[in-house]
Amino acid sequence: MSNARIPDHVVVVGAGLGGLRTVETLRAEGYAGRISLVGAEPHPPYDRPPLSKEILAGAWPDERAALRDPDELAALGAETHFGVAAVGVDESAVELSDGTRLAYDALVVATGVRARLLPFQPEHPAVHTLRTLDDCIALRSSLAGARSLLLVGAGFIGAEVAATARTAGLDVTVVEALPVPFERVLGEQMGALCAQLQEENGTQVRAGVRPERFTDAGGRVGVRLVDGTELVADCAVVGVGTVCDNGWLAGLGLAPDAPLSCDYRGLVDGSSAVYAVGDIAAWAHPTRGEAVRLEHWTSATEQAGVVAKRIAGTEITREADLVPYFWSDQYGLKLQLVGRPERAERVEVLHDPGTIKGTVGGYFAEGRLVAALAFHAPRPLARYRRMIGAGADEAQVREAVAELASR
Ligand X SMILES: Cc1cc2nc3c(=O)[nH]c(=O)nc-3n(C[C@H](O)[C@H](O)[C@H](O)COP(=O)(O)OP(=O)(O)OC[C@H]3O[C@@H](n4cnc5c(N)ncnc54)[C@H](O)[C@@H]3O)c2cc1C
How many Å apart are CA 346 and CA 370, to the nearest integer?
10
Helix (H, G, I), strand (E, B) or coil at 392: coil
> By CB under 6 A, is residue 110 in contact with ligand X?
yes
CA nearest to 188, candidates 344, 299, 48, 24: 344
Site map 157..176 versus ligand X, x via CB under 6 A: x-------------------
111 is an interface residue for ligand X by CB under 6 A? yes
Q: Considering only residues 182, 326, 331, 375, which one is a binding residue for ligand X as defined by CB under 6 A? A: 326
Of 65-73, 107-115, 194-202, 373-381, the window that binds ligand X (rule: CB under 6 A) is 107-115
314 contacts: CB under 8 Å, gap ≥ 6: 1, 2, 29, 30
Q: Rule CB under 6 A: choose which of 104, 297, 375, 384 binds ligand X.
A: 297
Site string for ligand X, 139-158 (x = CB under 6 A): ------------------x-
Could you give the 3-state DSSP secondary structure of residue 152?
A: strand
List the one residue from 10, 11, 40, 260 that touches ligand X (CB under 6 A). 40
Q: Which is nearer to ligand X, 302 or 400 (CB)?
A: 302
Name the minimum Å distance from CB 358 to ligand X. Answer: 20
Binders of ligand X in range 41-60 (CB under 6 A): 41, 48-49, 51-52
Residue 327 binds to ligand X (criterion: CB under 6 A): yes
Helix 156-167 to helix 188-200 angle, to the nearest 10 degrees? Answer: 20
- Closest distance of CB 22 from ligand X, Å: 9
Closest CA to 17 of 273, 238, 300: 300
Q: Rule CB under 6 A: choose which of 10, 26, 55, 86 binds ligand X.
A: 86
* 348 is a contact residue toward ligand X (CB under 6 A): no
Helix axes 297-312, 17-28, angle to 10 degrees: 40
Least separation, in Å, of the C-beta of 360 and ligand X? 18
Q: Is the Cβ of residue 134 or residue 352 nearer to ligand X in the bound state?
A: 134
Tell me whether residue 189 or residue 298 sits nearer to ligand X (CB atom): 298
> Any residues with CB less than 8 A from the CB of 298 and at least 6 apart, and which?
321, 324, 325, 326
Q: x/- binding map, residues 187-206, to ligand X, per CB under 6 A?
A: --------------------
Cα-based distances in Å from 244 to 254, 278, 280, 293, 303: 12, 12, 7, 12, 18
Least spacing, CB of residue 68 vs ligand X, in Å: 14
* Site stretch for ligand X (CB under 6 A), options 8-16, 146-154, 164-172, 391-399: 8-16
E strand or H helix at 56, and its extent? helix 54-57
The span of 182-190, 192-200, 290-298, 315-323 binding ligand X (CB under 6 A) equals 290-298
248 lies in the binding site for ligand X (CB under 6 A): yes
Q: Residue 200: in which H helix or E strand, if any?
A: helix 188-200
Give CA–CA dist 149/332, Å, rounded.
20
Phi, psi values for residue 252, rounded to 5°: -100, 10
Stretch of 40-48, 99-107, 147-155, 194-202 contacting ligand X, by CB under 6 A: 40-48
Strand 34-39 versus strand 79-82 pairing type = parallel
Sequence-distant (6+) residues with CB within 8 A of 99 are none
Query: What's the length of the chain?
Result: 407
Contact footprint for ligand X (CB under 6 A): 13-19, 38-41, 48-49, 51-52, 85-86, 110-112, 130-131, 157, 248, 278-280, 295-298, 300, 326-328
